[in-house]
Amino acid sequence: MKFITGFIFALIVIVIIVPIFIFKYFFSGAPRDLGVKYTPADYTQTHEKIGTQVSPLASSASVQDSLQFSGQKESKVSLNSSEITAYLNSDKYVYTPLTNVQVKINPDGTGEVSGILNVKNFITYVSLTTPTADVQEAIDKFHISANPPFYAKGAVTVINNQVTFNISQLEVGRIPIPQNNVTENQGALNDYATKKLNSIPNLKVRSLTLTDGKANLDATVPEKVLKAEK
């Protein structure tokens, strides 16, 4: 159960694909505006920088087959807040758990993320790597019954596919989560994120750092991704 809770915490915290810790009370409404603006050109530029070819799958693809990776290529890029935000909001994956996302990389090396958690999609997305019964147990435990806005601030580094988060602030529905709750779950968060990263074929992140308002990635990435789209 501790592993599932750590995974829920991870989804809220950061944009890699994936992780989350949900508490009992939720409020509707728009997520916090971080002031990050973007254009279609930002998405195009990010897609070209990373270099992975993304193609749609038939909508009838099963959940387990809804994401498929093949090949590999080298990618060494620096992405600003607008580029990352544009890339995430252009994602058409049918089970994407986060929408209306903004990511802001600060000059001091911290990052901020806000958005909306789609609970139904979250359950399906988690089932790709975790038994659905365990996911439902965690959801029932925390009385998840809405699609809440969220906000998180902190730092992240990845060295040789080992993920380390340092979360300094977390809100769900504009309610601040006590720092002691955040701290006690960071180990589970790091473990889950690392496991998730290593589950993607041909992905080797030599380093990911946040510096000078940019996310800097040095990695081997899949050459092609097939995904079921909306």
- Domain region containing 118: 2-228
User: Do 160 and 208 form a contact (C-beta atoms < 8 A)?
Assistant: no
Of the candidates 122, 126, 114, which has an alpha carbon nearest to the alpha carbon of residue 171? 114
Distance from CA of residue 5 to its chain's centroid?
16
Sequential pLDDT tens for the chain (230 residues): 444 445 445 444 433 333 333 333 344 568 899 999 999 899 888 888 888 888 998 767 788 888 889 999 999 999 999 999 999 998 888 888 889 999 999 999 999 999 998 877 877 777 776 666 666 665 565 555 568 888 999 999 999 999 999 999 988 777 787 888 888 878 878 887 888 888 888 999 999 999 999 999 999 999 999 998 88
Global pTM?
A: 0.80
Q: How many domains does the chain have?
A: 1
Between CA 157 and CA 151 the distance in angstroms is 19
Q: Are strands 73-80 and 149-159 parallel, antiparallel or unpaired?
A: unpaired
